A and B are shown apart, each in its own frame.
Chain A
Amino acid sequence: MSAATPVTTANFEDVVLKSSTPVLVDFWAEWCGPCRAVGPILDQIADEHGDKIKIVKLNTDEESAIAIKYGITSIPTLNVFVNGEVVKTIIGAKPKPALLKELEGFI
């Protein structure tokens, strides 16, 4: 099963900004309960829809420069990037059916 893969400052540009497919970036941290709850759901979505949308996760603790750049003040925040731009922001942990609905345009 393919799961959400980690991204870092080093490969953010290549993996996210230059991607030819939409990328969902899960801004998360270890200490955040709702992040841990939504993590497995994103892994499932990565497994089921990985061909249409790339799902990656960014640890805001370790990669805080990127979190600051994108104005993250609440986690989990799920940003969808298309052609290097944020086209959708989902804030907070949501059940799978709700997430799939939010991502309808991409999958």
Chain B
Amino acid sequence: MSEVENLVIVGSGPSGYTAAIYAARAQLNPIIYEGSVTAGGALMNTTEVENFPGFIDGIMGPDLMDAMRKQAKRFGANLITDDIVEMDLSGPVKVLKDGSGNTVKAKAVILAMGSAYREIGLENEKRLSGRGVSWCATCDGFFFRDQTIAVVGGGDSAVEEATFLTKFASKVVLIHRRDSLRASKIMAERALSNPKIEMLWNTEVIDVLGAEKVEALSLKNTVTGEVSKRDFTGLFVAIGHDPRNELVKGQITLDAEGYVVVENGSTRTNLTGVFACGDLVDHTYRQAITAAGTGCQSALDAEKFLSHH
């Protein structure tokens, strides 16, 4: 591909697809790289989304993403189910390389790579990943029928996973290093009142034990320092996310935590013609609707930029 496109959007999810909808309606002929195995983003691994406005009875995460995708397609966005593996954003023409070895050039780029789940950082967590350690309750919950499993974390995703897992497990122990949940009140109350969920406050997972599969966790009380061992067959890790900045690190301004920095009140990064939206820039809110909101902003910012260039 030697011609220069107007706009390439990297990443799907609510921000990328919303950017694609707006940019396509503005007749910018955007190309959106959805990701070969990450298309649809984080919501693809969730179940019911209850708080996305417009859906009285809620909507399944994957269905919401499928609808956004089709809406972008309807307006002519060029959807490519591949990854961008390299990009050079420095010059007036941005050069991106995809997973199949093709190069695409563009005047403007919207970064919407989202975030990736965080690991506890234990050696045995990695070793037993897929052997009892999981990051996807909706994928793997089924395999823990009638078992006692642990969820670590205290935010919305931890509480949502714990609640979801009670459909299968005989008992779910929610392990949190503080003495109260960070999750929204409605979800926290739902979990706390669930008879299958037991809370283990002020507790950290310091090791995952098991030869071939998860058998137990080594736990440490964050107040008393006491170490104990408890049997579990599964561990679901939901301790947060980190921005997926690996493609732009070193060429764009990131903050101390690795989020892409945008100019206040806009989606403009420090590089001309490069915009960023969604979880990649958002420390604070990280909701589907806020990601869609900044996705919209990024398309409008890109449209304005392209009208001058």
Interface residues of A, Cβ cutoff 8 Å to B: 29, 31-35, 37-38, 40-41, 60-61, 67, 71-75, 77, 89, 91-97
Contact = CB atoms under 8 A, between A and B. Distances in A.
Given A33-B44, A41-B36, 12 more contacts: A32-B138, A33-B45, A33-B62, A34-B37, A34-B139, A37-B36, A60-B143, A61-B142, A73-B213, A74-B143, A89-B130, A96-B36
A95 B134 contact: no
A38 B83 CA distance: 13
Given A29-B142, A97-B99, A91 B213 contact: no
Contact of A73 (B45, B99, B140): B140
A36 B212 CA distance: 27
A77 B130 contact: yes
28 contacts: A29-B139, A29-B142, A33-B62, A33-B139, A34-B37, A34-B139, A37-B37, A60-B142, A60-B143, A71-B131, A71-B213, A73-B130, A73-B131, A73-B134, A73-B143, A74-B131, A74-B136, A74-B139, A75-B139, A75-B143, A89-B130, A91-B130, A93-B37, A95-B37, A95-B83, A96-B100, A97-B85, A97-B99
Contact of B130 (A41, A92, A96): A92
A40 B81 CA distance: 10
B305 interface: no
Nearest to B143: A73
Interface in B135-168: 136, 138-140, 142-144
B159 to A, nearest CB: 20
The 10 closest A-B pairs by CB, nearest first: A91-B130, A33-B44, A93-B37, A74-B130, A37-B37, A95-B36, A32-B139, A73-B143, A74-B140, A33-B45
B129 interface: yes
B78 interface: no
Interface of B: 36-40, 44-45, 62, 81, 83, 85, 99-100, 129-132, 134, 136, 138-140, 142-144, 212-213, 234
Contacts of B62: 33
Contacts of A38: 37
B37 A67 contact: no
Nearest to B47: A31
Contacts of A72: 143
Contacts, number: 73
Contacts of B144: 73
Nearest to B131: A73
Contacts of B129: 74, 91
B234 A73 contact: yes
Nearest to A28: B139
Nearest to A31: B138
A99 B66 CA distance: 25
Contacts of B131: 71, 73-74
Contacts of A92: 130
Given A34-B37, A91-B129, A96-B99, A74 B134 contact: yes
Contacts of B139: 29, 31-35, 74-75
Contacts of A93: 37
Contacts of B234: 73
Nearest to B60: A31
A62 to B, nearest CB: 12
A34 B234 CA distance: 19
A77 B129 CA distance: 11
